[in-house]
Every structure is written in C-alpha cells, then in structure tokens.
Amino acid sequence: MLGGAIQTIGSQTRRLTVSGYALGAIGVSATARNAYSRSAVIVLAAAAVLAVLLFDALRFHLGWSAVPLLIWLAAVVMLLNVAPALFKTYPRYAFSISVLGLAVVGVLGLFQVPDDFANSRENLINQSYGGSFGNYLARWPAEWADSGGTASQTALAISRVVVLVVIAAATAWPRIALATLQTIWSGLVAFSVLFIAGIAGLASRIAAWRSSRAESGPTAEELMNGAATFGTEADQIKNPSFTTDKPAPPLVGNVRPDLLATEIDPTEETIIDADGRTVRAVVETLIDDEDALDLEDPESDLGEGEPGLLAPILPSFLHVPPFAWPLPDIEMLKTAPGGGVPETEIEATSELIVETLADHGIEVSVGDVRVGPRVTMYGIVPGWGRGRGSKNLVAEQAPGAERSSGRQRVRVDNILAREKDLALSLASPSLRFEAPVAGASLVGIEVPNSRPTPVTLRTVIESDAYEEFASAAPLPVPLGVGSGGEHVVIDLTRMPHLLIAGATGSGKSVCMNTIATGLLMSRTPEQVRIVMIDPKRVELTPYTGVPHLYAAPVVESDIAVGILKSLVDEMTDRFKVLESASVRNIVAYNEQAVTKMPYLVIMVDELADLMLTSASEVERLLCRLAQLGRATGIHLVIATQRPSVDVVTGLIKANFPSRISFGVTSQIDSRTIIDGPGAEKLLGKGDMLFLPIDRPKPLRIQGAFLGDPEVAGVVDFWKAVDGPRLQKIEPKAASADTGDFGDGGHDGDSLFDRACEMAGQHKTLSISLLQRRLRIGYPRAGRLMDELEEAGIVGIGEPGKPRPVL
C-alpha cells in the first residue's frame, strides 16, 4: 500500500515537472532574440520533457552522465541565445565540447554502481555510473563483472578516455596541440637515438673486452690451475689412492728448488699448482709446444749437474744462458778536438748586451756567464730605473713596480721586448731567452758561439757524471752537453718513453745512433735486448748481427706491424711472470729472481712512414706498449722528421711524456713536440731542446756526435764475441683484422670493412671523409673509393662532389 502511494506521488511529480518545463520553454522562447534561439529553447524544453517522461530508460542508458549532458545542453542553449554567431565562427569549440561530454560519460563508465543500490533497482544490476552507454564506451568488448575488470581492461578504458580528452583539446587549440606533438616526437626520436647508441656502445665494449681477453690469453693462475686439475684426474685414473695434500717448498727466484733435483720420468712430470700442491701428469699432454724446448741444443734445457736433472722451465725471453759478456773498450770511440770560446769574446758580448739595452732605457748587468759547446748563456740581472726625468719612463710608470728611493726595478717584459734589437746588435738571428733561469734570479740570453766546440760520445762517457750515473741507472744514455757546459745523462727507465722529432739534417738519426751505441757500450745482452724498426733502411741496419738485437732490424712496414704485435704478446707474458712471482715491476722481480729479466728497448726511426701505411694499427700497438710496458721493462724510443698532428697524434703524445725536439721549420711543429715555442730557433747539427718528464721547461743540449766508423767498430766488437745463441722474436702473422694490406684487392683489409660500415651510415661518401675517419692519406683513400665502386657500394663520382651510396 505504501509502495503504491509512493508510485502515485512520483507520477504526479513527473507531471508537474513536465508542465513546469513546458511553461518555462514557452516563456523563454517568447523572450528569445531570434528564431534560431527560439528553436534552440524549444529543443531544450522538449529534451527536458522527454527526460522526465522517459526517466527509467534515461537512467538505464545514461546513468549519472545524464546530469552533465543536460547541463551541457543548457549551456549550449544559453550561448545560442546570447551569442548565436559564436558557433558559426568557431565550430571547433562546439565539436570539442561534444567530445568532452563523451569523455565524461566514459569516465563515469569506469565506476560500478554499488551492489545495494543496484539490487534495489533490477535494471541497474551490473551497470556503471555512466549507464549502458558508459559501459559500451569504456568497457566494450569485455563486460566487467561487478568485482571490477583486470589491469589490462582498466588500462584500455582509461586510454580511451584520454584519447577523447586529447581530441577535444587538440580541436579547441590546434596550434598548441601541433607544437606539443612535435615536441613529443622530437623527444621520442632523441630517446631512440640515445638508446640505439647506448646499445651499440655496450656491444662494442663487450666485443673489445672479449678481444682483449682473447689476445691476452689465460692468466698464469688459470694455466696453473688447469695443469693441476689435469694432473690430478690423470693420476686418479692410474692410481686411485693418489692424494694431493703434500705441500710444496716456497718459490726461490722464479723456480721451485725441488724441481732442480727431480729425476726425469719418460711418461710423467712433476708440476706445482697454484696452491702449493705437488701433482703428477702425463708429459705428452704438457709438452705440446715445440718452442718450449730448444730442439737444436737439447742440453741447454738440462741442468749442469748430473745427467737427467730437470732444468727450470723458463719463458723464452728469460732463457739466456749464463755467459761472461765483455764490454767494448772506450778507445773505440773518438775524442773530441779542442775548442772553446775565448774570454775576449765573452767580455765583448757582455758589454754589447748591456750597451744595447741601455740605449733603449733599460739598465742591466751581466751576473753570470755559462759557456756551452754551441751557445753561451749570459745571465742578465735587471737594474733600476733612472728616475722620472730619464728616458726610461715606461719602466718608471709601470704599475706594481718596486720602488726604492724614487727608483723602479726594470721589468722583465721590457728586456724580452728587445729581442730583435739585441739580435741586430749581436748579428745573430737566433737568440733564445729563458726567463727566469732555473735556480737563479736571472734572465738568460743564449747567444750562439762563433766557434762551436765539438761534442762526441766519448766526451760524455768519460765524464764523472756519467760514471756515477751509469753505476746505478738500469739504462743509462749519454745525451750530450748542456748550454751551461754540464754533461747530460738520462736514465731511459725514468723517461719512460722518448719521442724525438726534427727536420731533415737536424741530428735526429745521430741521436738515435747515440742512444743505441750508448747502451751497447755499457750493457750486455743479459741486461737489455733491443728491437730496431728502420723504414728508411739505412740508419739502424748497420747494427745487424749484434747479440743485443731481439730481432733483425725491420725495414718493411707490414713486418714492423707483426713485430709490434709480437711485442704486445711479449709484454703480456712478462706480466704473467710478474704475477706468478707476486711482484709489481721488473726491478722487484730482478732483485729476487735467479734468472734476471732483461730490459727491452724498442727503437723506431721514422714513425711517419709507418703511419702512412697502417696508421690506426701502429697507433694502437704503440699506445698499448707505452701504457703498459714500463712495469715489464719495455721502453720505446721513437723518432720522426714530420711532427704533424697526423703523425704525432694526441694518443701518442700523451703516452710519451719525455720528448726531444731538434730544429723544426715552424713554431707550430715546436708546439706539437714540446708544447711551446723555441725549437724553430735551434741551430741544427745536434742542437736540441730536451723536455724530460720531471721538468716544466725544456733544456738546451748539444747532442753527442757519433760517426759511422765508431758505430762499425762497436758492432764488429759484439759480432766477434763468441757468446751463446740467444732467442729471437718472430713477427706475428698478419690476420684479416690487422689492417695489413697490399696494393691489390681488399681481401682481409680491415680498412675496406670499415669503409663499408661508413657507407652504411651515410647517404654519400667522399675521399676526404675517408681520410678523416680512417686516418689515412689521400692515395689510400682514393684506392678505397675505387674498391667501393668496384664492389657496387658507391656510384660513379663527379669531380668535386661526394659519391652516392647505392
């Protein structure tokens, strides 16, 4: 009965509401401004009447979304009544508002009507707040249960609503939407590029790591563990009662002392593993390398005691038989003829310097004179100004100058500014200033001597400085005589690598011969081994046959690359020996080892020729040797007559901290070598600037001269020594990835492969691009371009234009 009353009241309320809407529509239409507005008002009134009459159907299909839709309809009617031309001028706003209304319905369709409210009305079961239309807009094609949809269904529904909102916003504000879209697209492209580059970089690092692991080979600990494991398994098969608990004696030098007294078994051999355990292994499985034994002299692999004793198993570079090596006599070298600068010349030059500067209002005095073989350094002491009435007004009015009783100290800049005036007065175009002189409050002026004093290698070797230095330095090198008359001797192990540059005829090759002969005069093959690479074929080849040489002088570029690769392997083997002995460097190893590890000096006379043929490979190998070779006793001495940036690259320069610059043609070349000017003013014929690793400024030195007869005498002496046969290093065979190539074809040419990769990254390809990226010369880049054309990778070129990539 109560339910019937409620239904009656609801129906009466609906009739009253319909009547109210009808009367309101009639009133509003009467006040409308035009027919268009009256029609819109009537439509709104009709919609309201239908909404009341069809309330149940509206509630089922639209749910609570009917409220914002009716509000939207009312707003549209009001706008048509107030500003009817608005929708004609901006129709996109009407469309945007309509789409936004659909988005509201979609949002309401995401939420489920509560169960208690839905159960009270049968037609609302499994419905959302947006009604059936909201269900379709948000949830189609899957109908969610009352417990809610899955994560993927919810994400799909939310994405639909977001799309509707984006469409509405883009329609209302198209310019802002276009700019936003462009920004998002640019961000996605940038992210994709960075992501791909990161993946490529990671892949290249992994490949480089794998190649380095493959090139360096297994460590000494891995080899020892592998040998011990194999020996244990073999003996367990032969003797089940085999055990490995027996401890081994400690390491003495580089071998186990118990190995020296072990009888050789024809089938088994004693091995000491990394944990100090003694194991037995089949000898046929261990001696599988013919290079491990000296087949021509098998007795050299056995000890000098009773027959059958097993000698220490040493690496090839340590297998130097004991021998009393003699040293050459100093009488093989020539003495320097007498000479020097007379005292009268020194006094005259000093007076001329003082008078010339005084003529320009600069008072100085000569405080020290250091006579050298090629130049004489005059130490200038700055004086005081003459007062305000004198002509030295510039010095007196200089800000920050010291004052003493109205007088001012002469500035150093004023002295340096008179370089050309001094050169004119002294009739010497090549003056060099050093301000200040190291260890003194002087301004040094180096003036060439009218009669230079010859400097020979014997002059430096017979000096007291060399005798004292050579007794302690592992690799003493007599370099020459300084500008102050002091003898300059360097230790190559402290450099640790030396870069020499200079123009043709400046004394570069003589310096290389001085370094090599200096080592041959003081060190035996047990102490140092030398590798000489001489593409010029005439400078280092006279040393052929010297027992110090680790290989015959190399004159071919492809063989030089193979030798450098073998030296990298040599360096790796040396590191394994140091690792097994638990020492840091060669000095600590030689202090405790029975068989000493010799130092290894690599000399290259003309780096430019190697860089022309295999620039990338030579640079990589030299940099690796320079970076890691110091600890293992490997030191490089490299010379070039073309100190340009394509020869002396940044990597090479960074790994050669000690440098020598002879006379060069330009200040740019001087800065390339010693990071500063000065080398362009050198006098040639051995006049050098030496920049060691421990000095900020270069030293001027007159290099020691060494004639061909002296070199031949030292070489003949070492050839006549009947010493034991020493092991030699062999060049590593060129592989497909080494960059060793000839003039014909591109099989196995890594440059061709890299050029193909560049073609895949560019739409056009030019010879200049190949030169820059591959660091090669124009002829080689032109041949590569011809090979690419023959392979069908690039098209036919036109003069002055890059070639299209097919």
Does the N-terminal peptide bond of residue 535 adopt cis geometry, omega within 30 degrees of 0? no
pLDDT digits (tens, 9 = 90+) for 214-247: 655 555 455 445 444 444 444 444 444 444 444 4
Quick one: pLDDT at residue 173?
79
Q: Is 645 within 8 Å of 629 (Cβ atoms)?
A: no
Mean per-residue pLDDT, 566-580: 92
Quick one: pLDDT at residue 769?
86
Residue predicted with more confidence, 162 or 279: 162
Quick one: pLDDT at residue 384?
78
For every residue of 550-566, DSSP letters joined together read: SSPPB--HHHHHHHHHH
543 pLDDT above the threshold of 90: yes
User: What DSSP designation does 144 have?
Assistant: P
Mean per-residue pLDDT, 33-55: 62
639 pLDDT above the threshold of 50: yes
Quick one: pLDDT at residue 263?
39
pLDDT digits (tens, 9 = 90+) for 373-416: 989 999 999 887 654 444 444 444 444 444 445 567 888 888 88
Quick one: pLDDT at residue 112?
64
Residue predicted with more confidence, 391 or 345: 345
192 pLDDT above the threshold of 60: yes
Mean per-residue pLDDT, 566-587: 92
For every residue of 300-335, DSSP letters joined together read: GGB-SSSTTBBPP---GGG-----------GGGSPP
Residue closest to 611 by CA, chosen among 647, 565, 645: 647
- Window from 156-170, 206-220, 414-428, 626-640 with minimum mean pLDDT: 206-220
Quick one: pLDDT at residue 27?
55
For β-strands 498-501 and 634-640, DSSP reports them as: parallel
Q: Is 371 within 8 Å of 341 (Cβ atoms)?
A: yes
SS (H, E, C) 605-674: ECHHHHHHHHHHHHHHHHHHHHHHCCCCCEEEEEEECCCCCCCCCHHHHHCCCEEEECCCCCHHHHHHHH
State percent of the chain over pLDDT 70. 65
Residue predicted with more confidence, 115 or 496: 496
pLDDT digits (tens, 9 = 90+) for 745-761: 443 357 788 888 888 88
Tell me how far apart the alpha carbons of residues 740 and 350 are, in angstroms, rounded to a whole number: 59
> With bands split at pLDDT 50, 70 and 90, how would you rate the model's confidence at 57?
low
**What CATH topology corresponds to 343-448?**
Threonyl-tRNA Synthetase; Chain A, domain 2 (3.30.980)
198 pLDDT above the threshold of 60: yes
Q: How far, rounded to the nearest angstrom, does the alpha carbon of residue 535 sit from its chain's CA centroid?
A: 28
Tell me how far apart the alpha carbons of residues 552 and 541 are, in angstroms, rounded to a whole number: 8
- Window from 116-130, 462-476, 626-640, 689-703 with minimum mean pLDDT: 116-130
Report the number of secondary-structure helices (H) and strands (E) in the chain: 28, 19
Quick one: pLDDT at residue 631?
92
Quick one: pLDDT at residue 480?
93
Tell me how far apart the alpha carbons of residues 51 and 58 are, in angstroms, rounded to a whole number: 7
Tell me how far apart the alpha carbons of residues 131 and 112 are, in angstroms, rounded to a whole number: 9
pLDDT digits (tens, 9 = 90+) for 706-756: 999 999 999 999 999 988 888 888 887 654 344 333 344 443 357 788 888
Mean per-residue pLDDT, 606-611: 88
User: What DSSP designation does 249 have?
Assistant: P
> With bands split at pLDDT 50, 70 and 90, how would you rate the model's confidence at 438?
confident
**Domain-by-domain residue ranges, the chain?**
10-177, 227-313, 343-448, 476-718, 750-804
For residue 158, give every residue at least 6 positions away whose Cβ sits within 8 Å of its Cβ, in sequence order, or none: 110
Quick one: pLDDT at residue 299?
40
Q: Is 622 within 8 Å of 642 (Cβ atoms)?
A: no
Tell me how far apart the alpha carbons of residues 648 and 608 are, in angstroms, rounded to a whole number: 8
596 pLDDT above the threshold of 80: yes
Strand partners, 376: 371, 447
Quick one: pLDDT at residue 502?
92
Tell me how far apart the alpha carbons of residues 88 and 90 are, in angstroms, rounded to a whole number: 6
Quick one: pLDDT at residue 36?
54
Reported CATH class of domain 750-804: mainly alpha
Q: Is 711 within 8 Å of 544 (Cβ atoms)?
A: no
681 pLDDT above the threshold of 50: yes
Residue predicted with more confidence, 8 or 409: 409
Q: Is 679 within 8 Å of 662 (Cβ atoms)?
A: yes
Q: What is the mean pLDDT of the chain?
A: 75
pLDDT digits (tens, 9 = 90+) for 456-467: 999 999 998 898
Quick one: pLDDT at residue 557?
86
Residue where the block lists tokens 């990338």: 616
For residue 247, give every residue at least 6 positions away whose Cβ sits within 8 Å of its Cβ, in sequence order, or none: 276, 277
Quick one: pLDDT at residue 93?
72
Matching fold, domains 343-448 and 476-718: no
Quick one: pLDDT at residue 789?
86
Quick one: pLDDT at residue 624?
92
94 pLDDT above the threshold of 50: yes
**What CATH topology corresponds to 476-718?**
Rossmann fold (3.40.50)
Strand partners, 263: 309
> With bands split at pLDDT 50, 70 and 90, how would you rate the model's confidence at 441?
confident
Tell me how far apart the alpha carbons of residues 100 and 108 are, in angstroms, rounded to a whole number: 13
Tell me how far apart the alpha carbons of residues 751 and 780 are, in angstroms, rounded to a whole number: 10
User: What DSSP designation does 765 have?
Assistant: E
519 pLDDT above the threshold of 80: yes
Dihedral (Cα; 635, 637, 642, 643), 10-degree rounding: 50
User: What DSSP designation does 762 have?
Assistant: -
pLDDT digits (tens, 9 = 90+) for 468-481: 888 889 999 999 99
- Window from 421-435, 492-506, 545-559 with minimum mean pLDDT: 421-435
State percent of the chain over pLDDT 90. 23
632 pLDDT above the threshold of 90: yes
pLDDT digits (tens, 9 = 90+) for 99-152: 777 777 777 766 666 655 444 444 444 566 666 666 666 666 666 555 456 666
User: What DSSP designation does 110 have?
Assistant: T
